[in-house]
Structure 1
Amino acid sequence: MHVTIVGAGLGGLVLARVLHVHGVPVTVHEAEASPSARTQGGMLDIHEHNGQVALRAAGLFDEFRALVLEGHEASRVLAPDGTVLLDEPDDGTGGRPEVQRGELRRMLLDALPDGTVHWGHRVTGVRALGEGRHELTFADGTTETTELLVGADGAWSRIRPLLSDATPEYTGTSFVETYLFDGDTRHPRTAEAVGAGAMLANTPGKGIQAHRESDGRLHTYVALSRPQDWFAAVDFTDPAGAAERIAQEFEGWAPELTALITEGDTDPVLRPLNALPVGHRWDRVPGVTLLGDAAHLSVPNGEGANLAMFDGAELAVAIAAHPGDVEAALRAYEGALFPRSADEAAEAVRDFDLCFGANAPDSLIALLTGQA
């Protein structure tokens, strides 16, 4: 059996690595031109019950531990005026250690044989050939026939239509992403407000959320529950004007918080939040399946990367446990995937409402302290 994976994100790479550990040949096709084609996002907290399980299955747990930023599990909740409502330091237990997504991805790439990932291979078409085989067409005009095809290609998966006609829909909320560099020196009051790890200043329908990364970077996601046409009226080609317009929604908030928007060292980037229906599933189609956001895109609650990696490890183990029987492997994998992802998506919706719903920030504090 040879496994073909579309997408070199964390889920696809864990799948490739665990398959490699079990001696199953694998090829990964990635649309990006190289591993450094773009930045890979910010901090991830890797959870004991899913993300860490996947990394153990990949035989990379010690390498992962070497990437952990000690002390960054701290979290705090602030009121709009900057008052600290909750301050939880890193307790040192390592239950959800923080790492940089880019470094985690690099670790997984380095653990694969050279040539496993084919960069610059953007899928432009895919068709079923029968008996579980599929033909992929790439932007450069080349094609490849697969024995087992896995869509690990994210929210707007090109593989999903083989299985499902579901498409992600706008959730009603968008994030605006910004960075402050060298925060402790250049923005000391803001850096103090953010603290050692994560800071959340949320009220109903909006919030300023930031995380301290390595080298004193302060990475911010500004949340606003607004329709898409509201954001369409903001001219993001004028970075300063866009930042000012977003900041107007936080008039009267503490300047050390709004500085995360107005003093950004990078252009503000709009990140609309889309999601697949809770409980998304499909009928068994021979020779193809999905993992991660391609299978169960949800609103963010800290589980997305963990679930994608866990999916990848679980699928690899199922394939290794059913040598020569693709359909038995996929039935076993999807039989566990569907109820798990439905439960996780429902929990993500609940958590998101606690973060930004009518009772925020009290409901957010209840969530973080286990009282929700």
Structure 2
Amino acid sequence: MNTHATPRIAIVGAGPGGLTCARILQKHGISATVYDRDSSPDARNQGGTLDLHDDGQIALREAGLLDQFFALARPEGQEMRQMTPSGEIINHHVPAEGELVKPEIDRGVLRDLLLNSLQPGTVQWGRGLDHVSGPADGPRLLHFTDGTIIETDLVIGADGAFSRVRPALSPAVPGYTGVSFLEAWFDDVDARHPDIADLVGQGSAAAGDGERGMFAQRNGGDHIRVYLIRRVPAGWIADSGLTIDDTAAIRARLLEEYATWSPALRRLISDNDGRYVDRPIYALPVPTTWDSNPALTLLGDAAHLMPPLGVGVNYAMLDAAELALAITASDTIADAIRAYEATMLARANETAKLLEGGAEQLMGAQVPDFSEPIPS
């Protein structure tokens, strides 16, 4: 920043986007504090694996972490098998030696890489945000659920789909896409589930029949996660008189829905370890935009929640890099936000339009070719 006073920067959300932003700011000598509602870094499972293509890799390069990322990533995870419901493989992408277009990394591993790169005390845990107040031109006030209030010159909302920062900028709220994922876990797969390990391979396997889909993905640590993709009401479990803990009843319903699928693929429903995880898919309206605010902005899913087709974390990290670099290069925070949002909103809304209704593709007989990067 080319200013005499050091701005107080608050980043809400310690996901990949928020942490990337904090890291790049610190790399340029600018302090930021990250607030997260989780009680600690280990308070909950961070989710499955993700691929980082050019956008995410650009951000890690700016963060000075690209070599460390490649040391942790799994290039073999770029393998992709597209299958029919009968189990026939109709497309098989095997990554070439040295291919690093979109290597896989577990979300928890990526988060640890970013966390460990930050100055001690950067992240404050157990700080759930309730709302943001204060004049549009700042300073802004962060009201936390524990009753504390913090004054800051810039609020960066990196707090995901149901952001508590977004309402201070935009009335947009995520809407249910009509498609829901039901997640199943398989542990110690090479020893305990060798047939499933062989079916999925080192990367991912997907199939769809037009009414329902299935996406299986190998994670690090000998785990596989399977996503059963269906067009159902968001509250279908409760509407059926069930709870998410009614594993046997949910499994029986799924097996009936997938009755015509091959026995090998149906084992991805019947043999999972533990209960299912319900993940209804939401997206923000297209386009989502707002008038630039000199003391508040958004990045990642808080700004442009889209169907899960490969851009979420990558765009969040690219947003973070572009915002941090704009702050370092601009005379004022307001100038930085205007420059950042001009690029980010145009890119996000163009991609969101391309992906609108994209969750439906995951159930199609012609499964999307995940070996190709999503257009950006």
Q: TM-score range, shorter-chain basis?
A: over 0.9
The residue type equivalent to 2:321 in the other structure is: A
Tell me how far apart the structure 2 counterparts of residues 104 and 148 of structure 1 sit (CA, whole Å): 26
Give the structure 1 partner of residue 73 of structure 2. 68
Q: Cα deviations across residues 326-370 of structure 1 (Å, max 9, x unaligned)?
A: 1100000000011100122123236544433xxx323535x7579
Q: Any gaps of 5 or more consecutive residues in structure 1?
A: none
2:341 aligned with 1:334 = yes
Tell me how far apart the structure 2 counterparts of residues 352 and 368 of structure 1 sit (CA, whole Å): 17
Tell me how far apart the structure 1 counterparts of residues 64 and 274 of structure 2 sit (CA, whole Å): 37
Task: Please give the residue correspondences for 1:297-312 in structure 2 after superposition, counting only pairs within 5 Å.
Answer: 297-312=305-320
Task: Please give the residue correspondences for 1:194-205 in structure 2 after superposition, counting only pairs within 5 Å.
Answer: 194-205=200-211
The DSSP-based 3-state class of the residue aligned with 1:228 is coil
CA RMSD of aligned residues (A): 1.7
Q: Contact between 1:318 and 1:333, CA under 8 Å: does it hold in 2?
A: yes
The DSSP-based 3-state class of the residue aligned with 1:364 is coil
Q: Contact between 1:4 and 1:27, CA under 8 Å: does it hold in 2?
A: yes
Task: Please give the residue correspondences for 1:132-147 in structure 2 after superposition, counting only pairs within 5 Å.
Answer: 132-147=138-153
The DSSP-based 3-state class of the residue aligned with 2:251 is helix
Tell me how far apart the structure 2 counterparts of residues 186 and 142 of structure 1 sit (CA, whole Å): 48
The residue type equivalent to 1:97 in the other structure is: P
Cα pair distance change 1:369/1:59, threshold 3 Å: closer
Q: Aligned-pair distance for 1:268?
A: 0.2
Q: Cα deviations across residues 263-298 of structure 1 (Å, max 9, x unaligned)?
A: 111210110000001221101122000000000001
Cα pair distance change 1:130/1:214, threshold 3 Å: closer
What is the aligned counterpart of 1:278 among 282, 286, 291? 286
What is the aligned counterpart of 2:368 among 351, 361, 364? 364
Cα pair distance change 1:284/1:109, threshold 3 Å: same
Give the structure 1 partner of residue 110 of structure 2. 104
Cα pair distance change 1:330/1:130, threshold 3 Å: closer
Tell me how far apart the structure 2 counterparts of residues 316 and 31 of structure 1 sit (CA, whole Å): 22
Q: Contact between 2:75 and 2:102, CA under 8 Å: does it hold in 1?
A: no
Q: Contact between 2:17 and 2:158, CA under 8 Å: does it hold in 1?
A: yes
Give the structure 2 partner of residue 247 of structure 1. 255
2:191 aligned with 1:168 = no
What is the aligned counterpart of 1:91 among 93, 96, 107? 96
- Greater mean alpha carbon deviation, residues 87-96 or residues 163-172: 87-96
Q: Aligned-pair distance for 1:125?
A: 2.7
Give the structure 1 partner of residue 4 of structure 2. none
The DSSP-based 3-state class of the residue aligned with 2:87 is coil
The DSSP-based 3-state class of the residue aligned with 1:66 is helix
Identity fraction in percent = 41
The residue type equivalent to 1:134 in the other structure is: R
Query: Would you identify which runs of 4 or more consecutive aligned residues in structure 1 move more than 6 Å?
Result: none
Tell me how far apart the structure 1 counterparts of residues 50 and 235 of structure 2 sit (CA, whole Å): 30
Q: Aligned-pair distance for 1:2?
A: 2.1
Q: Contact between 1:46 and 1:98, CA under 8 Å: does it hold in 2?
A: yes
- Greater mean alpha carbon deviation, residues 68-77 or residues 170-179: 68-77
Give the structure 2 partner of residue 34 of structure 1. 40
Tell me how far apart the structure 2 counterparts of residues 29 and 129 of structure 1 sit (CA, whole Å): 21
The residue type equivalent to 1:329 in the other structure is: A
Q: Aligned-pair distance for 1:248?
A: 1.9
Cα pair distance change 1:117/1:169, threshold 3 Å: same
User: How many matched pairs?
Assistant: 365
Tell me how far apart the structure 2 counterparts of residues 141 and 364 of structure 1 sit (CA, whole Å): 47
The DSSP-based 3-state class of the residue aligned with 2:78 is coil
Tell me how far apart the structure 2 counterparts of residues 137 and 229 of structure 1 sit (CA, whole Å): 31
The residue type equivalent to 1:80 in the other structure is: P
Give the structure 2 partner of residue 58 of structure 1. 63
2:300 aligned with 1:292 = yes
Tell me how far apart the structure 1 counterparts of residues 371 and 296 of structure 2 sit (CA, whole Å): 38
The DSSP-based 3-state class of the residue aligned with 1:120 is coil
2:32 aligned with 1:12 = no
Cα pair distance change 1:350/1:29, threshold 3 Å: same
Give the structure 2 partner of residue 214 of structure 1. 220
The residue type equivalent to 2:91 in the other structure is: L
2:98 aligned with 1:120 = no
Q: Contact between 1:2 and 1:24, CA under 8 Å: does it hold in 2?
A: no
The DSSP-based 3-state class of the residue aligned with 1:141 is coil
